[in-house]
């Protein structure tokens, strides 16, 4: 008889266990998104779009920077090996000004030739040749700075707002989870931990979107600072070449001479 009692209790225990398992609500991030309302789905879509935009900008800007730096190294090597600025001008005319250093040299040389030949024909050209070349160089540097900083505002915005978007999604999800638990008959740890844990994933997703954007932004800003410092130093050397025809090297103090362009006919 005891054996029959144990046998009878066995199915009851099994049914109770199955009932407990069936009472446990399904969990998981996909379940959280599926059962969330329009606000939760919209926040999830916003984070996904932010992530796609940030990674697109990161990849594109990295590829562009590698290409630009490679072209800059090639141009500077050709520039320092040139015997005159006229040769540099011919090199730019042949291969094109496809990077900031060549762009700067092309505009500066053209400004020097134009002002020396035609003089100040417009108000913006008033002043000496050196002053006109200086304004041209500053304008080109400002243009190149704007090009380098293109897209950084978007990365900074994503890096600063994505965590708060994720946090808002978590708060919204926890609120609805607690409301649903309050309307249910029984409250157990399983019924609380599952929905709340799902909602917390939104905060993690927001951080996952923001961290790469912030790291990339800081890396690009530092790279821009270094690159623009080199461009500014090159601009000073180029201005010296256009006005005096020489440069004093900072390393050993030796003077490297680069012939100036021949004087234009307008100087006579």
Q: What are 188-199's pLDDT values in tens digits?
A: 666 666 667 777
Q: How far is CA 89 from CA 43, 68, 146, in A?
A: 54, 19, 25
How many Cα atoms within 13 Å fall on the side-chain side of residue 142?
6
> CA-to-CA distance for 176 and 166, rounded, in angstroms?
15
SS percent in the chain: helix, strand, coil, step 5: 80, 5, 15
Question: In terms of Cα–Cα distance, which of 48, 52, 49 is closest to 60?
Answer: 52
Q: Which residue has the tokens 């053209």?
A: 110
Q: Which residue has the tokens 């130093």?
A: 233
Q: What are 204-261's pLDDT values in tens digits?
A: 999 999 999 999 999 999 999 999 999 999 998 888 888 776 554 444 444 454 444 4
Q: Which residues contact 20 (CB under 8 A, 6 or more apart)?
A: none
Q: pTM of the entire structure? A: 0.72
């Amino acid at each position: 008889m005891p054996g029959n009692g144990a046998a009878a209790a066995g199915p009851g225990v099994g049914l109770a266990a199955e009932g407990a398992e069936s009472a446990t609500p399904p969990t998981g991030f996909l379940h959280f998104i599926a059962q969330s309302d329009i606000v939760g789905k919209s926040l999830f879509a916003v984070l996904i779009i932010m992530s796609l935009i940030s990674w697109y900008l990161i990849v594109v800007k990295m590829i562009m920077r590698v290409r630009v730096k490679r072209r800059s190294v090639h141009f500077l090597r050709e520039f320092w090996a040139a015997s005159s600025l006229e040769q540099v001008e011919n090199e730019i005319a042949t291969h094109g000004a496809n990077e900031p250093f060549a762009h700067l040299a092309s505009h500066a040389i053209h400004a020097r030739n134009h002002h020396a030949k035609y003089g100040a024909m417009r108000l913006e050209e008033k002043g000496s040749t050196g002053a006109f070349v200086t304004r041209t160089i500053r304008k080109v540097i400002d243009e190149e700075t704007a090009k380098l900083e293109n897209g950084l505002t978007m990365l900074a915005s994503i890096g600063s707002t994505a965590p708060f978007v994720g946090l808002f999604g978590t708060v919204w999800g926890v609120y609805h989870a607690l409301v649903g638990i309050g309307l249910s008959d029984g409250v157990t740890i399983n019924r609380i931990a599952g929905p709340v844990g799902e909602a917390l994933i939104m905060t993690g997703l927001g951080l996952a979107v923001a961290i790469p954007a912030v790291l990339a932004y800081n890396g690009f800003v530092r790279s821009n600072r270094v690159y623009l410092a080199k461009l500014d130093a090159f601009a000073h050397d180029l201005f010296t070449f256009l006005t005096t025809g020489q440069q004093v090297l900072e390393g050993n103090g030796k003077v490297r001479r680069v012939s100036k362009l021949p004087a234009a006919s307008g100087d006579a």
